[in-house]
Every structure is written in structure tokens, then in C-alpha cells.
Amino acid sequence: MFLRSGAAPRRRPLLPARAAFWVQASVLLVIMAASSAPSPLYPLYQDQWGFPPVVLTVIFAAYVVALLAALLTVGALSDHLGRRPVLLAALVLEIAAMAVFVAADSAGTLIAARLVQGLATGTATGALGAYVIELEPRERRGLGTVLTGAGPVLGLAAGAVVSSLIVAAAPAMIDLVFLVLLGLLVLQAVGTALGPETVARAPGALASLVPRVSFPPQVRPSALWVLPAATACWALGGLIISLGPNLVRTLTGTESVVLTGVVVAALTGTGGTAILFLGATAPRRVLALGMSLLAAGMAATIGALAAGSVALYLAATVVAGVGFGAGFLGVLRTLLPQAAPHERAGLLSAIYVVSYLSHSIPAVAAGAVAGPAGLVPTAIGYAVAVLLLAVLVLVGLRRNRPVPGRDRAA
């Protein structure tokens, strides 16, 4: 019942569609948790192996470059080969990355692990989001899109917080988080293998590997003014992950790993929770709410950094986190309903290409500027840029009135 017209008969899946839906929702959460879990551990690795700070930038860049390479090449592959084979390949890569982390004994192995992990995450992103949407229960229409938005954000929060708590409680058990993730991924790979397929094989698999960012023609008019919202949201994530730990140390004078995890969770945890609560809100309304709160959070962040107040900084991050979640949900709920089923994985991959470029390039640039210009002034300038992007989207919302009935249909 899931396959496109003209599909050949398939074997009867051993795992019912409803169970497969929740399995894939958990895959989305765990893969993103795995991507953020190493971050709190880098200072420990640096102390153990004595590599210079620039290596941390290389480790960060390795993950992003590999992820973007996968999104640009295999991001739409599941539209042609099917969701399950592509996801199984991604899970095998993710399991391999966890094994490399467990065996890591140098900065080189950390870079290798992040390269493999980036390939795994990029391979999974488009296929996984489309699969979750296609498996959603009929009586819960829209839940798949909500979880596609909330899963990555909540996963980022969970990975950073759990990893930082383990480090704080038992620094000698640095590999425990990767062993747990490895076990979960093996179980999820089995669940994926037993689940149903939702699309039929279609020609064009090799052609789909040509690197490109593809927005279906009917989506492009909306994408022009909606995508700056994704840019603003994920650029904010880059600020928190790249400069956030050092900002906390500057404001508090401490180097608490747990506090660093709390700051990440203040953004991503509240963002994911906001998506879950706002899942039924009309797309334009949730996008407007997200950009308004994001702008307010950035204004408060600027004030907090100028005043040197860590309490205000955390409060501002929570407000901005709700804006992050609502804004990104608004992007997905505006664009995804306009794509045909066989275009979903490619469109999701394109959205995430824009998002991860926004997440990484400004963060790397800010890290380079922070040395000569100063950490706090750089962070204030970064916050101003995110605020202006949010305002740009709000202006776009006013200028692009919906066709009557379109918002309701979406």
C-alpha cells in the first residue's frame, strides 16, 4: 500500500508499518545524538593526546565536509533504490564510526571517525526523513513531518547532554557513550531490515549521484523567502556549538563540561520540544512565531553578552531555542507538502544542505575572527546577523500572502 504506482510486488514485511514508523523515528534521534556526542569529549582527547586547538577545527570540518558530500551525491538515491537499502547502508557506516571512536588512539582516528560519521549522517538524512513521513499512521497525518523536524534537534540535545554527564561522572569511561550508541544502532539496523519498503525502484539512480542541490520547480517560489529561516536557525546552532563553550567560560570563569552541555540543550532541547508542541500549528503561523522568538532571543543575547550576564545568556538561549524549533518546523511544513512523494528525499537533502552550510561556514568564520577581534564582539556580530535574517523572513511572510486554502491544505 506504500509503493508508487507501477511498483512490483514485494515481500510481506516482518515488521508492521506502525512499528516501523517508531523504529525510524528512533533512528532519527539516535543518529543525531551520535553526531553531537563527541563534542563534550574533545577537551579530554586533547588532554590525553596533546594535539593543538587547530585540530579541533579540522575534526569539525571533516564531519561537515563528509556530510555535505553525501547529501549532494546520495541525498536523493533512496527515491530510486528505495528507502530501506539506503538506510541500511547509512546505519552500517554509523556503526563503523562508533567502532572507530571506541578504538581511537590519536587525533587522526578521531578525524577518520568523524569522516565516516559525516558520510553516514548525510546518507541517512533525506531517506530517513522521507521514510518517517511515508510510514506515519493514517490517523496521525502530519506527525511524520513533526518528528522529522524534532528528531534531529532533540537528538543533538540528548547526545551532548548525556555525553557531558558521563564525562563529568566518570571521565575514565569515555568510550561508554559510543558503546551504548553502537548497540542501539545494531538493533535499529535489524528493525530497518525487517520493515516495509515505501517506494518502488525507479530509473535514474546513477544520474542522481551527480552533485547538485535540487528544489522541485513548484517549491522554488516559496523556497526563496522561506530558506533564510533555515539559515538563521542553523547558523544560531553553529554559534552555540562553536563559540558557546568559550562564551560560557568567559561569562562564568569556569570550564564545566556539564554547563556546556546545558547551553547546547537550552537551544536544541527547547527547539525540539517546541516542534512537538507546535506540530499542528499552521505553517505560516509557526514560521512567524519562530522568527519572532528567534529575533527576540538574539536581541536578548546581545544584551546578555554586552552586560556579561550568564543568567540572561541562558534565558536568551532558551527563547531563541523555541524560535529555532518553531522556525525550522515552519520551513518543513511550508516546503515538504509541495513536493511529490518521489521528490521528498531530494528536497529534504537540499534543505539540509542549506542548513548545514549555514551551521558550519559562519561558525568556522567566527572562530577565525574571534582571535583578532575578540570572542564577545564576534559573538555579538554573529547574533546581529541571525537577528537580521529572522527579520528578513518576517518581511517575506508579509509580502508573500498565501493563496486562499493553500495554508490549510499544507
pLDDT in tens, 7-28: 444 557 778 888 999 999 999 9
Q: pLDDT digits over 350-382, tens only?
A: 888 898 888 888 877 887 787 788 888 989 999
Burial of 49 (0-12, 13-18, 19+ CB in 10 A): middle
Q: Check pLDDT > 90 for residue 101.
A: yes
Q: Give the model's pLDDT for residue 7.
A: 43
Q: Considering the entire predicted model, what is its pTM? A: 0.76
The whole-number pLDDT of residue 11 equals: 59
Which pLDDT value is given to residue 318?
93
| pLDDT, mean over the chain | 85
Q: How confident is the model at residue 119 (pLDDT cuts 50, 70, 90)?
A: very high
What pLDDT is attached to residue 8?
A: 41
Domains contained in the chain, CATH given: 13-198 (1.20.1250.20), 216-400 (1.20.1250.20)
Flag the least confident range among 20-24, 258-262, 275-279.
258-262
Other beta carbons within 10 angstroms of residue 7's beta carbon come to: 15
pLDDT band (50, 70, 90) for residue 265: confident
Which DSSP category does 199 fall into? S
What are 279-335's pLDDT values in tens digits? 778 889 999 999 999 999 999 999 999 998 988 998 999 999 999 999 999 999 899
At a CB cut-off of 8 Å and minimum separation 6, what does 300 contact?
Answer: 312, 315, 316, 319, 320
User: Minimum mean pLDDT among 170-179, 304-313, 324-333, 385-394: which range?
Assistant: 170-179
Residues 6+ apart with CB under 8 A from 398: none
Asked if pLDDT for residue 4 goes beyond 70, the answer is no
Please say whether the beta carbons of 254 and 307 come within 8 A: no
More confident residue, 342 or 181: 181
Mean pLDDT of 249-278: 79
SS3 content of the chain, % helix, strand, coil (to 5): 80, 0, 20
Q: Are 178 and 37 in contact (CB under 8 A)?
A: yes
How confident is the model at residue 401, as a pLDDT? Answer: 66
